[in-house]
Amino acid sequence: MSDIRIRKIGKTGRITFNRPQALNAMSYQMCLAIESALDEWNIDDDVKMVVIDAEGEKAFCAGGDIAELYESGTKGNFLYGQQFWADEYRMNAKIFAFPKPVAAFMQGYTMGGGVGVGCHGSHRVVGDSSQISMPECSIGLVPDVGGSYILANAPGRLGEFLGLTAARLRAEDAIYSGFADYYIPETAWPALITSLENTGDWTLIDQSRQPPKLSEIAKQESEINEFFSGETLTDIVNLLDATNSDFARNTLKRLSRNSPLSMGCTLEIIHRVRLRDNFRAALAQEYQFTYRAIEHGDFLEGIRAQIIDKDRNPHWKHQLRDLPAIAVSQMLLPLGAASLTFGKGN
C-alpha cells in the first residue's frame, strides 16, 4: 500500500506513514493494514519490537481521513462511520496492549487518529517540531481513539482543558500531559531507528533521551484546575464568564469555536473514564458518542464548516451557554447490542 509502508527490517516490525502531501492522514485501509501487521508480528519471534514513523517534516499523522465519512454520512449511510470507528478503536486497543515494545517517532502534527497510533505505545518520542492535540470538538466529535484515557490521566484538570480547547502541545507539554515519554532531537532519529532495526534493543531509546524544556502549560495548571473543575460545560463557562482575566477571555474564545454538544460529552466521558481506569472502557465510552455522531451530533456540520466549505462558521445544534443536560445523556446512552466488543465485524 503506497500510503503506508509496512515491512520487517532486521529485528523490528516497521510502519511508516507515507502520505506527506495529506499530512499523513490515516485512511480506513491504512487502519486495517496496521492491525493486520500487529496481528502478524505479535506471534513472530523474529520481531522484537515495533517502530512507527512517518515521511515528511510537517506531520506524523494529522488525523483520520474524514472525507469518506462525510460523504457517506450526507447520503444517510451511518453504518460506514460506525464500522470505521469500531475497527479503528480495535486497532488502538491492540497497540495499547501489544506485548512487545512499540516506539513512535512523532514529528510535526500528531492529531486525532495520529494520537491513536502514536501515543499508546511503550516508547513515545517527540522532538522540537512536535505538536500534539485532540481537536475533535472543533468538528463535532469527542477526543477518541483512546485519547480520553490519556486526558483522564493527565495532571489535575489538564485533560478537561485540552479536550475542550484543543490546545496544541509542544514536546515538553506533551510529556508533561502524558501524551509522550521521550524528548530526543529529531536529527538523532534516523541513526537511532537504524540501531533499533539492527538490534531490537529498545533501551537505546532510554539512552538517547534528553531533558525536555520546562513545560509552559504546567505554569497554567493552577488556573486550569480552578476553571475546569466543574461537572458540566455550563459550570465551566459560568465561572469563565464571571472572571475578568486574560486566561478566562482567551479560554472562552477557544470554547466558542467548538461544538457545545461535543464539549459537554467530552467532559462527561473524561469524568467517567477517570472513575474506571481501563483503556478498553475508555474506547467503549467514546464509541457511544461516535456511533451516534453522524446521525445525531454536530459532526457533518463541523466537517462542512472546517473542511468542505471552509467558511469556519458552523451552525451547532446548541449554544455554548445553553446546552441541555439531556442532550449529553442521549449521546452517551448504552448501545446495547451495538456496543463495542473489539471483535472483527463489531
pLDDT tens, position by position, 191-207: 999 999 999 999 999 99
Fold of the domain built from segment(s) 1-346? 2-enoyl-CoA Hydratase; Chain A, domain 1 (3.90.226)
Q: According to the model, what pLDDT value does residue 1 have?
A: 55
Confidence of residue 61 (pLDDT cuts 50, 70, 90): very high
Query: What does DSSP say about strands 4-9 and 12-17: parallel, antiparallel, or unpaired?
Result: antiparallel
Phi-psi region of 9 (alpha: psi -120 to 50; beta: other; left: phi over 0): beta
Question: What's the whole-number average pLDDT of the chain?
Answer: 97
Q: Which pLDDT score, from 0 to 100, does residue 344 have?
A: 83
Helical (H) or strand (E) element with 53: strand 49-54
Q: Give the C-alpha separation, 334 to 337, whole Å.
A: 9
- pLDDT bin (cut points 50, 70, 90) of residue 65 is confident
The answer to whether 255 touches 39, Cβ cutoff 8 Å, is no
Q: Is the pLDDT of residue 46 over 70?
A: yes
- Round to whole Å and give the CA distance between 220 and 200: 39
The answer to whether residue 343 scores a pLDDT higher than 90 is no
**What's the confidence (pLDDT) of residue 66?**
87
Determine which helix (DSSP H) or strand (DSSP E) holds 197, and give its type and residue range: helix 189-199
Q: Which pLDDT score, from 0 to 100, does residue 117 have? A: 98
What pLDDT shows up at residue 346? 74
pLDDT in tens, 68-78: 899 999 999 99
The predicted model gives 40-49 an average pLDDT of 98
Q: What mean pLDDT is predicted for residues 137-149? A: 98
**Please, which pLDDT band fits residue 89 given cuts at 50, 70 and 90?**
very high
Percent helix / strand / coil, the chain, rounded to 5: 50, 15, 35
How confident is residue 64, by pLDDT bands cut at 50, 70 and 90? confident
CA distance 81 to 68: 9
Q: What is the pLDDT of residue 67?
A: 85
Q: Which residue has the cell 453504518?
A: 79
